[in-house]
Chain A
Amino acid sequence: MRSGSVRGRRCGVLSLRTSSVLPAVRAAESSPPRHPSAGLRLIVLLLVLMIGGTTASAAGLEALPAVPVPANNPQTPEKIELGRTLFFDRRLSGDGTTSCASCHNPEQGFGDGQAISLSYPTTRNWRNAQTLFNVAYQQRLFHDGRAASLEEQALFPLMSAFEMNQNLDFVEEELRSVPEYVAMFTGAFGSPDVTRERIAMALAAFERTLVSREAPLDRFLAGDEQALSAAARAGYALFTGKGRCSSCHAGGNLADDGFHALNVPESPEFERDPRVAATRRFVAKVSGFEEYRTLAEDPGRYLVTKDKRDWKAFRTPTLREIARTAPYMHNGIFATLEEVIAFVDRGGGEGNTALRPLGLTGGEREALRTFLVEGLTGPEPAVRFPKIP
């Protein structure tokens, strides 16, 4: 079987695992947080240590499988190239200033290096721009998981008043006026029609090429013990042991497709800039939250499911390339990994039930940080910039 494309130079249809494109249905419930008992955890840790160091299967991290590709949107070079071009094209925004790449900058870990994302001129965003590294592996997109596929996700920012602020009917016509785009759509989809569905499919196809899988951790999991330094190996043992990180940051992509409320502090930007609060109320309003007028915090996935258990729950992000994607959390509240680890070590934010204090030493926290930075950072992504017609 041929694997999916890593950098866009080769591509093929994946046969290891195909996921069908889900309809736009909101999941009724999030997965519950995991609380293995302390006794069970101790036994597992002892077993792990007796077996002689850590093995992937004992501790919840494993090799990354090939990129999942939906059957109704296979990868082709023409589609990926069209998606790459659209991704960098500011034409897709209402006033021509903003492209996907504005906030998902390849040179800033496919984020934008800010706590709160960049936004459409005169507005402010209210959440952090997430990395697109390994986004193909995420079952649900956005911090609140409201999109169930990359195709579904791609059009949201185009329409969002505080992001690209574009009218989809209008952008279809703007692109149709450009002969190079008509040619590219024909090459990718077999006919010259420019539709929002095709725009989304092309963008998704490009995003499926943004994969980090050649990090030291991957070599380590494949059997190369020297791929991680001693300090990083100690950090990995903690990650899968005392730190309990892999209970949520699990599997090849270090993310469990779940939603957890850690109760991180609210962003000071909400107080500082009334435009951020305006965006917060706007999103709540269009999500059908009745008390949007007085909303003072970010309710997370609750806005999508209206399930009380999802209040302030946010999607577990991947930790891949984490050193490239500061600041951290859904609102970028932590500028450094030290802060994130300290936060988790003390049991998370007030009132949360997902985390418990860990009692890590300073050395242990530093070892974890070393593992995250050293183990999960792969080679610099080789992004080719397109020629925009």
Chain B
Amino acid sequence: MKRLTWFVLLAALAFPAMCGAQVAEKRFSIPTENSPSLGPADARVTVVEFIDFQ
């Protein structure tokens, strides 16, 4: 199985989302100890990928 892995990079400016009635975004809290990672620990965005190399 081939995958694209996205690495956390420096910030880019982006405009805030449109206001108005919206559906809320659900967030998961994933423990991050001991897993290989790239980039600063206090980066603004964290991407955790659950992967199968095959």
Contact = CB atoms under 8 A, between A and B. Distances in A.
Are A and B in direct contact (Cβ within 8 Å)? Answer: yes
Interface of A: 95, 97, 107, 121, 323-324, 336, 366, 369-370, 373-374, 377, 380
A324 B22 CA distance: 9
Nearest to B23: A323
A380 B20 CA distance: 19
Contact of A324 (B18, B20, B23): B23
Contact of A323 (B1, B2, B22): B22
B44 interface: no
B34 to A, nearest CB: 25
A374 B21 CA distance: 7
B22 A107 contact: no
A292 to B, nearest CB: 29
Contacts of B2: 121
Contact of A373 (B1, B22, B26): B22
| Residue from B2, B18, B21 with most neighbouring chain A CB atoms (10 Å) | B21
6 contacts: A336-B18, A366-B20, A369-B20, A373-B20, A373-B21, A377-B23
Given A97-B1, A121-B1, A121-B2, A107 B23 contact: no
A323 B21 contact: yes
Interface of B: 1-2, 18, 20-23, 26
A13 B31 CA distance: 44
A291 B18 CA distance: 44
B26 A370 contact: no
A107 B26 contact: yes
Complex A-B, nearest 10 residue pairs according to Cβ-Cβ distance, in ascending order:
A373-B21, A323-B23, A374-B21, A370-B21, A324-B23, A97-B1, A377-B23, A121-B1, A107-B26, A121-B2
Contacts of A369: 20-21
Nearest to A95: B1
Contacts of A97: 1
B50 to A, nearest CB: 13
Contacts of B20: 366, 369-370, 373
Given A121-B2, A336-B18, 19 more contacts: A95-B1, A97-B1, A107-B26, A121-B1, A323-B21, A323-B22, A323-B23, A324-B23, A366-B20, A369-B21, A370-B20, A370-B21, A373-B20, A373-B21, A373-B22, A373-B23, A374-B21, A377-B23, A380-B26
A374 B22 CA distance: 8
A324 B18 CA distance: 16
Contacts of A95: 1
A373 B21 CA distance: 6
Contacts of B21: 323, 369-370, 373-374
A366 B21 CA distance: 10
B36 to A, nearest CB: 23
Nearest to A336: B18
A192 B21 CA distance: 50
A121 to B, nearest CB: 7
A380 B26 CA distance: 10
Contacts of B1: 95, 97, 121
A373 B26 CA distance: 17
A369 B18 CA distance: 13
A373 B18 CA distance: 14
A324 B26 CA distance: 12
Nearest to B24: A380
A61 B23 CA distance: 23
